[in-house]
Amino acid sequence: MRFLSIATVSLLLGTAALAQVPPDIAAGTRAAGQSMNPASGAPYAALFPPSAWEGVTIERDIAYGPDLLHKLDIYTTPGGSRRPVLLFVHGGAFVAGDKHGAFYPDNVTLWAAKQGMVGVGINYRLAPQHPWPAGAQDLAAAIAWTRANIGRYGGDPDRIVLFGHSAGANHVADYAGNPVAQGAELTAVRGAILLSPNYIAPGPHAYYGSDGDLNSTAGAVRRLAASRVPLFLGDAEFDPDPMLETARELREGLCQVPARCPRYVNLKDHNHFTEGMALGTDDRSLSGPLLEWMAALFGERG
């Protein structure tokens, strides 16, 4: 299966321009406001019939390092080779979360496989037992493993896109912007998707500790401005205020250097959980812009 070209993506977006948030889900999201209850995204699970998983091969809990949490899952579809790789990093406030759930975040890697990519979902060590730079180091190790092994699953070891949500987006940004966390695997990273990161948290942090520069949007802007990794930045209309503020400051700061200005989307009628849980459904609020950005990133011209 070939990754969708720009021409194909444009056709899909044109024919599905109205495929946004279902009205009943939108109404519930607006009523809940800035909800941080994962159950707020549950209605999207009902939009995934059992057939959504047909034709996708999943290999779980492959070790990429020595820790018990150094595990990854791989999602593939039959046929094809040298397909782009989407490597997903889950959220969980730095102290919780998992690559595999009853529905989310599996829908993200499932969506990647269905779009002609190879989906990789990772676990990583958690704070407070494993503070900075554990998350960025684990991501580097997962990228290195993927680069060395993904060819056996039909993936292209030189076309890896990172995708992090919430705390996972911080880990992706921290890796992309911090040379201390990077190794030779960086050359395989073609882009980074940051969905609702948060660098605005007062006081000592479970992961960043008391390092005010690491745990600051200004620091993230400075580091990412010096990075070569293209960026996609997204947030939700009903994200909590600190995440909306982080996205605004990242956007304004990075766009002072035009070459580092991220592709940005604000997801109307979405909150912190529905934004990612919609991937793979007919709600293309996020998947449409993502596909368009990745097609351009890989130079797919039809």
Per-residue pLDDT of the chain (302 residues; tens, 9 = 90+): 455 543 344 434 443 444 689 999 999 999 999 999 999 999 999 999 889 999 999 999 999 999 999 999 999 999 889 999 999 999 999 999 999 998 999 999 999 999 999 999 999 999 999 999 999 999 999 999 999 999 999 999 999 999 999 999 999 999 999 999 999 999 999 999 999 999 987 789 999 999 999 999 999 999 999 999 999 999 999 999 999 999 999 999 999 999 999 999 999 999 999 999 999 999 999 999 999 999 999 986 43
Name the token pair of 170.
């911080």
CATH 3.40.50.620 assigned to domain 6-297? The reply is no
pTM score:
0.94
Closest CA to 167 of 63, 270, 261, 95: 95
Pairing of strands 57-63, 83-89: unpaired
Burial per residue of 256-288, b for 16 or more beta-carbon CB atoms within 10 angstroms, e otherwise: eeeebebbbbbbebbbbbbbbbbbbbebbbbbb
3-state SS, residue 238: strand
Close Cβ partners of 300 (under 8 Å, ≥ 6 residues apart): 3, 4, 5, 6
The string over 36-69, giving b where at least 16 C-beta atoms fall within 10 Å of a residue's C-beta and e elsewhere, is eeeebbbbbeebbeeeeeeebebeeeeebbeeee
